[in-house]
Amino acid sequence: MTLLAAFAGCAEPARTSRDTAAATPAVNQPPAEAASAAASAPATPSVDAVAPASAKPPAADAGSGAERVPVLLAADGTPLPQTRDRPSVESSSFRWRLDQLVAAIAHDDPERALPAFFPRVAYEQVKAVPNPGRDWEQRLVGAFRRDIHDYHRLLGPGAASARLAALLVDERRVRWMEPGAEGNRLGYHRVTRSRLRLRLSSGAERELELTSLISWRGEWYVVHLHGFG
């Protein structure tokens, strides 16, 4: 079932499949090939379309929304445990963190997007690998920073004007991953191949892949932005 969760108080204008294809770059190809690939882009699957929380640009100081970052530690400093709560794209915390991700892409500033990324304290509990903290920093966050830079370049000269138009998430793809799957010690919800739809000041729209979201304590976080590599 397709739902529309509109946070800005207005619905996005209807778009034809031809319009969507023309506005969608081939994010898995170099920028030079994006224009030719867009013409043959497949239709977007049935999704939940989430409009941005605000039409205003995100605040310049990412720290001003620190209170919206979910609490990860107990009062004594110990990590809070995982839950089976199903995350929602309508969470105000997630919507704020999504704005930080878009702002990071627009301004080529990966550090700004870190509140949207799967937390280190959670990864250290979830992943059954030697030294998960180092794996988080050197592999996962390294790839995340690289993808932010790549997406900024892909948007071209108007990148700084990019604003979130919608997040396209296929709720049918949400799965609870049991312990033991994907090298994990703890379970989590996962959804793959979502899309960020961005609008530039020129009126053009671009769609960028958001490869994998996983949950921690009932909130969605990015763990792979563009591909699993």
Could you read off the pLDDT of 153-162 as tens digits, one per residue? Answer: 999 999 999 9
- How buried is 1 (Cβ within 10 angstroms: 0-12 exposed, 13-18 middle, 19+ buried)? exposed
Per-residue model confidence as pLDDT tens digits over 187-196: 999 999 999 9
Check whether 32 has a pLDDT greater than 80: no
% pLDDT > 90, the chain: 66
Choice between 15 and 123, residue whose per-residue pLDDT is larger: 123
Per-residue model confidence as pLDDT tens digits over 91-125: 999 999 999 999 999 999 999 999 999 999 999 99
47-52+82-229 classified as CATH 3.40.50: no
Cβ atoms of 158 and 200 within 8 Å: the answer is yes
Taking the CB of residue 13, how many other CB atoms lie within 10 A of it? Answer: 6
pLDDT score for 50: 57
Cβ atoms of 219 and 93 within 8 Å: the answer is yes
Q: What is the CA radius of gyration of the chain?
A: 17
Report CA 112 to chain centroid distance, whole Å.
13
Q: In the chain, what are the domain boundaries?
A: 47-52+82-229
pLDDT score for 188: 97
pLDDT score for 182: 85
* Residue 56 per-residue DSSP state: S
Check whether 13 has a pLDDT greater than 80: no
pLDDT score for 173: 95
Residues 26-42, buried b or exposed e (16+ Cβ, 10 A)? Answer: bbeeeeeebeebbeebe
Using 50, 70 and 90 to split pLDDT, how confident is the model at 200? very high
Using 50, 70 and 90 to split pLDDT, how confident is the model at 40? very low
pLDDT score for 150: 98
